Structure 1
Amino acid sequence: MTERPAASLREAALADLDALRARHPDQFRTDWSERLRGAAVLAGIAGLTAYGLWTLDFSLARIFHGLGRLGGFALEMFPPSAAGRFGVFLHALAETLGIAFLGTLTAALFAFPVAFLAARNVVPNPFARFAVRRGLDVMRSVDVLIWALIWINVVGLGPFAGALAIACSDFGAFGKLFSEAIETCDRRPAEGVLASGGSSLHRIRFGLIPGVLPVLASQVLYFFESNTRSATIIGIVGAGGIGQYLTELIRVLELQQVAFLVLMILVTVAAIDWISGRLRRAIIGGSR
């Protein structure tokens, strides 16, 4: 008795489907051109992937063969040891944090006013806005490592070059992110300032900045966390910080000291991540 109602419901559904097909044939017609385009895109991606693997001489056999050597390096890194140089390493780590902090702060301070010139709701002139945006693109298109090499040749080796490299790299990124945050800001406070007789500067100061400031602060905190790792990398090319000791110890295969440095970096980044995460939640939560 339970099979007959199920069968009748199935027949009713099929009959209704046939009626729908008859009334709306275009909706049920298979679009073979769309399917062919999708298949062509997938085939193109697969072809590019295969060509890239062939060009880069990718080999699973070499990977598996190197795993044994990688395991040997890992065993030689234990136990981590500072070899009596903990104070030197700690000073280098503090220098790395200083590079990241000053570079991030400098970039944020310079990018903050420039971002308003790149925002659509602040500068309506498309030509001026285009020029500012393309300038920001040029700054952020150059990697921080390249900026470090440039500034090392300008001001010499040391942490000053590292801070300048991070500032130049982050200036373009901050300008783009800040301008996008300004464009998506709620317009009602700014319109209220103008309606009450305020000027354009008053609109920016009292209508836009209070709304976007928590978002901008959150982005700056995230970049400081990320730049702590970047400051380690640029130290390898001579821009100061703990990366300088890291590359030297790797070259002479002092792997126990390398492990100690890596452990220090991991603990520092984890601590900064935890602190900045709490600050971001406090800033964004306090603005709601």
Structure 2
Amino acid sequence: MPATATAHVDIDRYKRSNPELFSRPLTQRLRDWSLWLAFAAAVLFTLWWIDANPMRIVNGLSKLGVLVRLMVPPWPGDGLWEYCYAMFETLAMAFLGTIIAAVLAVPFGFLGAKNIVPNWLFHFGLRRFYDAFRGIDGLVWALIFVSAVGLGPFAGVLAIAVGDVMVLGKLFAEAIENVDKKPVEGVQAAGGSSPHIVRLGVFPQVFPVMMSHVLYFFESNVRSATILGIVGAGGIGLQLSDRMRINNWQEAAFIILMILVTVAIIDNICRRIRARIIEAGRA
């Protein structure tokens, strides 16, 4: 008998002796089909709920075409230097908010790490505290702080800082929990105290990861600061909102291009710095 025929016979015999390995049970197939049907039903119900229909899309695209034609050519008018100042204000908001959040997140990260504070009740309560703050969007914080401290970039800085501190604290805690134990044990063997263990055994390992997270959040906050300005937190977003409100679409288009170019430059710079930090951490 040829080798291929023998192999075929062996496979058939194996299928007969182990049918569960070659075909899923009926209950499992019914469960999978039920999940897919529930997913499709949820999508269809959501589309019906928001009244999504092809005619609304067609009408929206036609109106969008009119706006795009009104935006061409982009033109700064007499407000070029005003827009540049507002752009720097937006960058300052993102920078200060990120720095404040990062500094405050470091102690929260160490407190939230299981290998630093092993008390499970404290750890559980602190993590739920993080989750409560992370559930509030930065735009909501901006509205709160605009009402509390008034219009301007200070409200934007506070919104970014408060919105990011708990997210960074959670990320820092996860990085601290995954440190290599050998440097920590080396500091302990040398007679180091708890502060020495944290400063010499843990922090040098997690610092590159922390900086990588901080740079990523700074990139994101440059974009977020634009949106925060629309609700009164100052910066280029406020200028964009004003130009849209008076239907000055050419200047609005110029501001949008400024934002895109600035975000692209910041992303490129931060990506290069992150790559250097990661390489230095691996070395």
Q: TM-score, normalised by structure 1?
A: 0.95
Is residue 153 from structure 1 mapped to residue 141 from structure 2 by the alignment? no
What residue identity is the alignment partner of 1:46?
A: A
Is residue 248 from structure 1 mapped to residue 238 from structure 2 by the alignment? no
Judged with a 3 Å threshold, the aligned counterparts in structure 2 of structure 1 residues 14 and 228 are, in CA distance, closer, same or farther, namely same
- Decide which of 40, 44, 48 is 1:46's aligned counterpart: 40
C-alpha displacement at 1:20, in angstroms? 1.1
How many angstroms apart in 2 are the aligned matches of 1:28 and 1:85? 70
| Aligned positions of 1:2-21 closer than 5 A | 8-21=2-15
Name 1:208's counterpart in structure 2: 202
Is residue 278 from structure 1 mapped to residue 272 from structure 2 by the alignment? yes
What residue identity is the alignment partner of 1:215?
A: V
SS of residue paired to 1:83? coil
SS of residue paired to 1:124? coil
C-alpha displacement at 1:202, in angstroms? 1.4
How many angstroms apart in 2 are the aligned matches of 1:46 and 1:23? 37
How many angstroms apart in 2 are the aligned matches of 1:271 and 1:186? 35
What residue identity is the alignment partner of 2:159?
A: A
Name 2:255's counterpart in structure 1: 261
Judged with a 3 Å threshold, the aligned counterparts in structure 2 of structure 1 residues 190 and 15 are, in CA distance, closer, same or farther, namely same
- List per-residue Cα deviations over 1:255-274 (Å, max 9, x = no partner): 10001000100110000011
| Aligned positions of 1:214-233 closer than 5 A | 214-233=208-227
How many angstroms apart in 2 are the aligned matches of 1:54 and 1:284? 47
- List per-residue Cα deviations over 1:75-124 (Å, max 9, x = no partner): 11111111011010000000000000000000000011111110011110
How many angstroms apart in 2 are the aligned matches of 1:253 and 1:225? 29
How many angstroms apart in 2 are the aligned matches of 1:109 and 1:17? 62
Name 1:139's counterpart in structure 2: 133
Is residue 71 from structure 1 mapped to residue 60 from structure 2 by the alignment? no
What are structure 2's unaligned runs of at least 5 residues? none
What residue identity is the alignment partner of 1:282?
A: R
- Share of identical aligned residues, percent? 48
Name 1:35's counterpart in structure 2: 29
Q: TM-score, normalised by structure 2?
A: 0.96
SS of residue paired to 1:287? helix
Name 1:166's counterpart in structure 2: 160
| Deviating more after overlay: 266-275 vs 125-134 | 125-134
What residue identity is the alignment partner of 1:104?
A: T
Q: Alignment RMSD, CA only?
A: 1.3
SS of residue paired to 1:81? coil
How many residues are matched?
Answer: 282
Poorly superposed stretches of 4+, deviation over 4 Å: none
C-alpha displacement at 1:195, in angstroms? 2.0
C-alpha displacement at 1:132, in angstroms? 1.4
Is residue 184 from structure 1 mapped to residue 178 from structure 2 by the alignment? yes
| Deviating more after overlay: 21-30 vs 46-55 | 21-30
C-alpha displacement at 1:161, in angstroms? 0.4
- Decide which of 187, 191, 196 is 2:190's aligned counterpart: 196
How many angstroms apart in 2 are the aligned matches of 1:28 and 1:51? 36
C-alpha displacement at 1:9, in angstroms? 4.7
Is residue 234 from structure 1 mapped to residue 228 from structure 2 by the alignment? yes
Name 1:101's counterpart in structure 2: 95
C-alpha displacement at 1:29, in angstroms? 4.8
- List per-residue Cα deviations over 1:21-61 (Å, max 9, x = no partner): 24434433531111111111111111111110000101122
Name 2:49's counterpart in structure 1: 55
- List per-residue Cα deviations over 1:195-247 (Å, max 9, x = no partner): 22112221111111000000100110010010001000010010111111111
C-alpha displacement at 1:175, in angstroms? 0.7
SS of residue paired to 2:72? coil
How many angstroms apart in 2 are the aligned matches of 1:256 and 1:29? 62
SS of residue paired to 1:238? helix
Judged with a 3 Å threshold, the aligned counterparts in structure 2 of structure 1 residues 256 and 193 are, in CA distance, closer, same or farther, namely same
C-alpha displacement at 1:10, in angstroms? 4.3
Judged with a 3 Å threshold, the aligned counterparts in structure 2 of structure 1 residues 128 and 30 are, in CA distance, closer, same or farther, namely closer
What are structure 1's unaligned runs of at least 5 residues? none
